[in-house]
Chains A and B, each alone.
Chain A
């Protein structure tokens, strides 16, 4: 009796990672956590920082792109930095910018962001046994900077029996800092280029999402749901209020994925 759960965890978009990870927890791992509770230390935070620094450097250009696009969409430099600092989720931020057209529709915005960020729920759930011994502020601080890359490394640490959960926060701190710094760089320099559309900045959102989809080979079982989502979104653009075509397409894609599973 070694496996108690066998849960697929989605590690999606943010920084162009599109991976499905099969999560396996063993009884020995769960028992070990109960006998020796996990903790949060500065040493762990520092380990996480060192682990994630090499990847963090590559986040800066993405942040820069977001800063420039935010500026082009009417945000000030400070507003662009604020959204990166408080949201810290590339896909959700790029998506949110498309809702800036007046009048802004809050419900479609919230539902779209919820759909695009729903993977965080599964990622957080996978780390629950590891994080449950922390104090509420420590847990919230760690989860605020939860992202694809530091989740992947932390989950590996959890499976390896690591007790110091500081690595999750340390790794997230690097990703957050580089994302916000990149945004600031883009937001403060974007204006000096004049009309940015001539450089193709208006297609960055579409290009970004295109790289998210093709960052990994698309699984066969995903092709049909994605096709349905694309058709519904395209037709819905003409028929539905702004933003609702995305939500209906996402829900349809999700339902088709459930219905066609195993067929």
Chain B
């Protein structure tokens, strides 16, 4: 029950925050000037948060995650197919598990 409450909170906070960003653009931005500096900040911040996630997952996950990230990234770079790239990353991690973590 306590776990369900936590998940309910997680869904609510995430949903409300994302909805707010979707509505803010038209509802508020028309009243304020979006300066080029603010645009630059939002643009770089949105990319940086993704990079920060990958870095954190690597620090948390160790060698399997590093291999998966490199494999998925390389596959994405070559194929431009995100799903195939994700499968490749998972596959590399699965092979490492099979070989070294059984």
A contact residues vs B (CB 8 Å cutoff): 7-8, 10, 12-13, 15-16, 18, 20, 58, 61-62, 65, 74-75, 79, 82-83, 86-89, 91-93, 95-96, 98-100, 102, 104, 106, 109-110, 112-128, 131-132, 139-140, 143-144, 146, 197-215, 222, 225-226, 228-234, 237-238, 245-246, 249-258, 261
Give B11-27 interface residues, CB cut-off 8 Å to A.
11, 13-15, 17-26
Tell me if A234 and B55 are in contact (CB < 8 A): yes
Closest to B93 in A: A200
Closest to A109 in B: B13
CB of B37, distance to nearest CB on chain A (Å): 6
Closest to B78 in A: A214
CB of A51, distance to nearest CB on chain B (Å): 20
Q: Which residues of A contact B90 (CB under 8 A)?
A: 199-201, 203-204, 207
CB of B7, distance to nearest CB on chain A (Å): 5
CB of A142, distance to nearest CB on chain B (Å): 9
Tell me if A83 and B98 are in contact (CB < 8 A): no
Q: Which residues of A contact B37 (CB under 8 A)?
A: 258, 261
Q: What are 6 of the A-B contact pairs (CB < 8 Å)?
A: A74-B7, A124-B21, A203-B61, A203-B68, A206-B54, A210-B73
